[in-house]
Structure 1
Amino acid sequence: MKIEIWSDVACPWCFIGKRRFEAALAAFPHRAAVDVVWRSYQLDPTLPEHYDGTELEYLSSRKGMPAQQVSQMFEHVAQQAKGEGLDYRFDQVVVANSFTAHRLIHLAAAHGSQDAAKERLLSDHFEHGKDIGSREYLTSLGNDLGLPAGEVEELFTTDKYSDEVRFDFQEARGLGISGVPFFVIDRKFGLSGAQPTETFTAALTQAWQDANPLVLVNSSEAEACGPDGCAV
């Protein structure tokens, strides 16, 4: 069973959704047969390489949201994150374009460490105030993940993996995805947002049953018991 997750590393609900999905997957009896693939998405592709201001100022000025409303939103999201064991620090978030970070995730996928890259980027962005658009930071992260230094360097000297990232954007539009996180199971079932763990559990179960229907073989030829008693 293949699960594709469209997500932006600059999206606070995406990290919360990741945790809730992981909790459901950990308890799923067929988790070993599940292939999880992270797809790229950008909430604001027009964001410059670096934004000279805080997250609060960015949302207030570029999204037209009153500062008080933004602060209340931060408080609500941080509480939801805390419930999943995450420690959001919006006052330390460095606002930066996530495009190169998405390219790094694609590079990590080529070396079998996609989820680890996604996890670190989300945690470093929302919990540790790291600059996800910084060449220095991304190079250090690539080293931590054990990625070939030469291939990490190519992210800054070539357009490697740019087409793959843009293809993810294109597929998202084709599927009608307008917000993240968005979970697609076997290209048949879709879940939008950081759903409760129970919802992910139900979706996994339904998708598995749909992909693996029970087939009865010679069911009428052997003795059995039913509501009215047993065959004699």
Structure 2
Amino acid sequence: METEENFNASSQRSSSPESSSSSDFRRIRGRGRGRRRGRRPGGVRGRGVRGVRGVGARRRINQEAAAERVAAAREQRDIQLRATIATLEEQTLRNLVGRICERDPTFVFDVLNEASQNERRQGYHPQPSDGVPSWCTCNHCREMPSEIEKLCCGQTPTNCFSIVPDFQRVVLDDLVLLVARRYREDIIAAAPDADLNRGNRHAAYRQFILWHHGHLGARNRRVIPSCCVWRIRDKFPDTFSQYRGFIGGRLG
């Protein structure tokens, strides 16, 4: 009897309104949290972030495209301007420069700087007809701008280093110099020299040193005989006869 009464009382408590509403509230609240927790990313907020990023990327692309169009327009304008200038006569150009300097006096400095550059471009490139220096024994050397560069190969006129066939093949051959330049550019990751004659000239200097002295190492330099230097410079001259000359290293 006590067991049956306890069971009935327990049944009544479990079926009371307060107990039922509390259980329902917990179930509802749990489902609510479940829905919030289970909401997959990529809702309105996620789409908004991606949308902002997409707008930024499109704006950057548009800006780059606009910059490219401006650069192309300027390049086209410069081409047309140079073509127009090329049609003008020399006296017309001189008068035009004078009027530009009157309109903007700062251009006077550009004119003076260019005039000074023209004076410096006289250069130094003696010819064989200028005579053989007193310190030369091979009869193929020419005067040099510094004392350290006044070096002769020391051979007789018929055995001068600069006229033997090997010098032509190893030092002056265009294909050999092309391969030597490309090999060096690949080793030191250097860009090709925009001045082809200068690139070939320096490559020829290196070829002679390698041929005559072997590998010397970094900053270990030797003077090239004058006869060989001018043979190289005759084939690959500088436009304004401006040559750097010998620059000593740690061992000479």
Where on the TM-score scale, by shorter chain, does this alignment land: which range? under 0.3
Q: TM-score, normalised by structure 1?
A: 0.20
Query: Counting strand residues as a fraction of each chain, which structure ranks higher?
Result: 1
Structure with the greater relative contact order (CA < 8 A, sep ≥ 6): 1 or 2? 1
Query: Counting helix residues as a fraction of each chain, which structure ranks higher?
Result: 2
Q: TM-score, normalised by structure 2?
A: 0.19
